[in-house]
Amino acid sequence: MDQFTINLLFVGTSFAIYIGIAIWARAGTTSEFYAAGRGVHPVTNGMATAADWMSAASFLSMAGLIAFVGYDNSAYLMGWTGGYVLLALLLAPYLRKFGKFTVSEFIGDRFYSPTARMVAVLCLIIASITYVIGQMTGVGVAFGRFLEVDSTTGLLIGAVIVFAYAVFGGMKGVTYTQVAQYIVLIFAYTIPAIFISLQLTGNPLPPLGLFGTDTASGEPLLAKLDQIVRDLGFSEYTAHNGDTLNMVLFTLSLMIGTAGLPHVIMRFFTVPKVSDARWSAGWALVFIALLYLTAPAVGAMARLNITQQFWPEGAAGQAVTLEQIESDPAYDWMATWQQTGLLGWEDKNGDGRIQYYNDKSAAMQERATAEGWSGNELTNFNNDILVLANPEIANLPGWVIGLVAAGGLAAALSTAAGLLLAISSAVSHDLIKGQLAPQISEKGELLWARIAMAVSIVVATWLGLNPPGFAAQTVALAFGLAAASIFPALMMGIFTKVNSKGAVAGMLSGFVVTLVYIFLHKGWMFIPDTNSFTDADPLFIGIKSTSFGAVGALVNFGVAFLVSSMTRPIPAEIAELVESVRVPRGAGAAQDH
Amino acid sequence: MAGYTTPSAQAADKSGEAYWKANIRIILISLVIWALCSFGFGIILRPALSGIAVGGTDLGFWFAQQGSILVFLALIFFYAWKMNKLDKEYGVDEE
């Protein structure tokens, strides 16, 4: 059986399972559509949250960004897990006690203001759509590889499937399908990692293998990796090469953003009790940590494997020959990935070899002159392909490659579906029913939910054709927006007596400042070449646009407290509401307006 | 505005205040540990810990890539356990 058939088999079977579950658990009422009728066990909920959470960014993109940057991108690892601490300690139990369906409902009620609710709806729609753009980038890579087409065609096919899939069920369909998706994606991520860790270090546990010994050289794996990349003029893998300020702010933005993204917070509305909401966050992180503890090992080991493939005699010897790339089955992955347009090489100096090195390093330029090289000949290596290409690079059996393709699609689909659900509920429940047409029927509300899904996927696909960065970088921007707007409002709503004017002014200023900062660096509406600054030379004290969310959050808090202190304090019944969300007793089933 | 349930009348009294204070204290301690292990050991204090070797690199690198995640897990489960106990002590748990 050839690889294409195996991939088709794995992806097809996994899809059949998801769709089967979605039909079996099809949502009938609005309560089921949004919150699965609140009958979900914390462990089940944790697993579904993990699938919802771990998107194309975590699955496909993150290990690649770590592999090619090294230590500095640990920010992704700490940021996307550390946010769960904030969620568990500062938000989840209180929002569950409050007992409504959506994040903006809490903001609207707590700040006794339809304006506050609308501002929250607007912020979370823009943040979620940015997030979906990142997913679509990943979907394009995954479908491109698995159908052996270019990534644009892959993206368009993926968009149709995501749409059909998200419209089918609501939260309930999504909850149980997401459990299935989690199982597929975690096996798909860890099995190749175990194989590769065994090959390189003899240790079956990748997180231990990362700090273990490279059996080929007898040196510690990370020391070996540091040395070979240094010899090719790249910066050392374990060294801190960027600046500390950006690394801290970026990590913080990702953490706060995690605790401000509606599709994750919504998960904690679906557990039966307040105490379950606390456990749920812990269980979610257990399931997430399985992938996040494996990811740095995947990154480091893949970087070592790739570098050694291009330099079979070691960094000081001769580079790999074109002939070997074409004839040796160990290099088959290069031809396959070339088709997607995400990998490219060119024998610039015509010596029949492909020299992969950092042509910006002075020491390497010297060596290049001496040996007659004309620049780095691995001309294109899209970081997003690393995880999918990894099992092929390590020469793993065909079924592992098929499994990874299915896992990558599961990750992208589950998150895209969860986000589309959050967007559609914001539009139909908060905007249409909560504001424009309160008398709308349940059926009408569901119809609007589906229309909103359709519109957002079209917008995300269109913007996904020219994404502002790799999947994980685009997603990081969405986190910045959520960090600057939603998280501070929720936290102040629970822990302080900030009033409605303060909250509205805070959310607007935090959000606008961050959005404008991102657009100034990434282009207005992410349209290429409309930016005035770049992240290499940012506008404000060296802070990159991806790290700006934490600053936006600070602006939000500051403005909110200032405005609140100058305006009328909150009414007595709202003070009572704040007191009531602080204690678990009396948390009944959720109620609608 | 209907939709949330008010707690029993005594919730706003002294015991309610003490419960909230105890909660805030646990949150603050947890967040200090949270920040110390990630921003501290993983980033800012990494140079200070560079003398401690861990598998081919140093302790700060381990905290940034693995240690902090393990600490986060421990913190969340500790908080859930501690708070569910506290709820019962102050009689504010769900029946």
Better pLDDT: A192 or A416: A192
pLDDT digits (tens, 9 = 90+) for A291-349: 999 999 999 999 999 999 999 999 999 999 999 999 998 999 999 889 888 899 999 99
CA distances (Å), A114 to each of A262, A581, B1, in order?
Answer: 18, 20, 11
The Cα A374–Cα A355 span in angstroms is 9
Residue A57: Cβ within 10 Å count: 30
Nearest CA in chain A to B15: A583
**Interchain proximity B95–A584, CB inside 8 Å:** no
Domain boundaries, chain B: 32-89
Among A529, A64, A76, A54, residue whose Cα is nearest residue A343: A64
Q: What stretches of A531-582 show up as alpha helix (H) in DSSP?
A: 549-566, 572-582
Q: Model confidence over A474-487: pLDDT tens digits?
A: 888 899 999 999 99
Whether residue A439 contacts residue A189, with contact meaning beta carbons closer than 8 Å, is answered with: no
Q: Do B76 and A281 touch (CB under 8 A)?
A: yes
Distance between alpha carbon A193 and the CA centroid of its chain, in Å?
20
A165: tokens are 């899939």
The answer to whether the CB of A549 falls within 8 A of the CB of A246 is no
State whether the Cα torsion B59-B60-B66-B67 is positive or negative.
positive
Whether the pLDDT of residue A76 is over 50: the answer is yes
Read off the pLDDT of residues A232-254 as tens digits, 9 standing for 90 and up: 999 999 999 989 999 999 999 99
Q: How far apart are CA A453 and CA A331, in angstroms?
A: 41
CB contact under 8 A, A78 and B80: no
The pLDDT tens digits for A106-162 are 999 999 999 999 999 999 899 998 888 888 888 888 888 878 888 889 889 888 888
Nearest to A279 among B23, B70, B80 (CB): B80
CA distance A88 to A274: 11
For residue B1, the model assigns a pLDDT of: 38
Q: Are strands A353-354 and A320-321 parallel, antiparallel or unpaired?
A: antiparallel
B50 touching chain A per CB within 8 A: no
Q: Are A267 and A45 in contact (CB under 8 A)?
A: yes
Asked if residue A463 lies in contact with residue A433, where contact means CB atoms within 8 angstroms, the answer is: no
Please judge whether A585 and B93 are an interchain contact, meaning their C-beta atoms are less than 8 angstroms apart.
yes
Q: Check CB contact under 8 Å for B55 and A71.
A: no
Q: What is the pLDDT of residues A395-408, one digit of tens each?
A: 899 899 889 988 98
Determine how many CB atoms are found less than 10 A away from the CB of residue A350. Answer: 9
Read off the amino acid at residue A65.
L
Q: How far apart are the CA of B83 and the nearest CA of chain A, in angstroms?
A: 8
- Identify which of A278, A583, A591 has the shortest CB distance to residue B79: A278
Tokens standing for residue B51: 């003398």
Q: Which two tokens stand for residue A111?
A: 């700040």
> Which of A284, A376, A368, A299 is CA-nearest to residue A83?
A284
Q: Three-class SS of residue A367?
A: helix
Q: What is the mean pLDDT of residues A490-510?
A: 96
- CB atoms under 10 Å from CB of B10, counted, come to 11
Residue B57, beta-bridge partner list? B54
Shortest distance between the Cα of A65 and any Cα of chain B, in A, equals 13
Q: Which two tokens stand for residue A60?
A: 């496909």
3-state helix, strand, coil in chain B (%, to 5): 75, 5, 25
Q: Do A580 and B3 touch (CB under 8 A)?
A: no
Q: Kindly list the residues from chain B whose CB atom is less than 8 angstroms away from the CB atom of residue A228.
A: none
Cα dihedral sign for A374, A377, A380, A382?
Answer: negative
Tokens 């707007």 correspond to A485
Q: Please give the Cα distance from A69 to A62 (Å, whole number).
A: 11
Residue range A523-534, pLDDT digits in tens:
888 888 888 998
| Pair A536, A243: CB distance under 8 Å | no
Alpha helices, H only, A87-170: 92-98, 103-110, 114-146, 151-168
In chain A, what's the furthest Cα-to-Cα distance?
A: 80
What gap in Å lies between CA A65 and CA A360, rounded to an integer? 20
pLDDT of the residue at B15: 80
Q: Report pLDDT digits (tens) over A191-229.
A: 999 999 999 999 999 999 999 999 999 999 999 999 999
Grade residue A173 by pLDDT with cuts at 50, 70 and 90.
low
3-class secondary-structure state, position A234: coil
Distance, CA of A406 to chain centre: 17
Which residues of chain A neighbour B7 with C-beta distances below 8 Å? 579-580, 583, 585-586
- Best CA proximity match to B16, nearest among B69, B82, B86: B86
Burial of A205 (0-12, 13-18, 19+ CB in 10 A): middle
pLDDT at A262: 82
Q: Is the pLDDT of residue A450 over 50?
A: yes
Q: Do B65 and A583 touch (CB under 8 A)?
A: no
Taking the C-alpha atoms of residue A512 and residue A556, their distance in angstroms, rounded to an integer, is 10
pLDDT < 70: residue spans in chain B: 1-13, 95
Whether the Cβ atoms of residue A334 and residue A345 lie closer than 8 Å to each other: yes
CB contact under 8 A, B43 and A281: no
How far away is chain B from the Cα of A492, in angstroms, using its nearest Cα?
Answer: 14
Distance CA A287, CA A265 (A): 17
Local confidence band at A28 (pLDDT 50, 70, 90 cut-offs): low
Percent over 90 (pLDDT), chain A: 53
- Classify A354 as helix, strand or coil: strand
Backbone angles phi, psi at A357, to 5 degrees: -160, 170
* Predicted ipTM > 0.95: no
As a three-state string, the secondary structure of B50-93 is CCCEECCEEHHHHHHHHHHHHHHHHHHHHHHHHHHHHHHHCCCC
Instruction: Decide if B27 and A93 are in contact by the 8 Å CB cutoff.
Output: no
Q: Residue A485 in contact with residue A123, Cβ under 8 Å?
A: yes
* Nearest Cα residue in chain A from B93: A585
- Chain B residues touching residue A78 (CB < 8 angstroms): 38, 42, 64, 68-69
Closest-CA residue to A464 (of A186, A166, A141):
A141
Q: Give every CB contact of residue A228 below 8 A, 6+ residues apart in sequence.
A: A304, A307, A308, A311, A314, A315
Domains of chain A: 3-305+391-582 (1.20.1730.10), 343-381 (no CATH)
Compute the Cα dihedral for A417, A420, A426, A429 and give only its sign: negative
pTM of structure: 0.91
d(CA A121, CA A132): 16
Contact flag A586-B72 (C-beta cutoff 8 Å): no
Name, in order, each residue with C-beta under 8 angstroms of A222's C-beta and a sequence gap of 6 or more: A210, A211, A237, A238, A300, B55, B56, B57, B61
Residue to mutate among A62, A77, A78, with most B CBs inside 10 A, is: A78
- Inter-chain touch B4–A99, beta carbons under 8 Å: yes
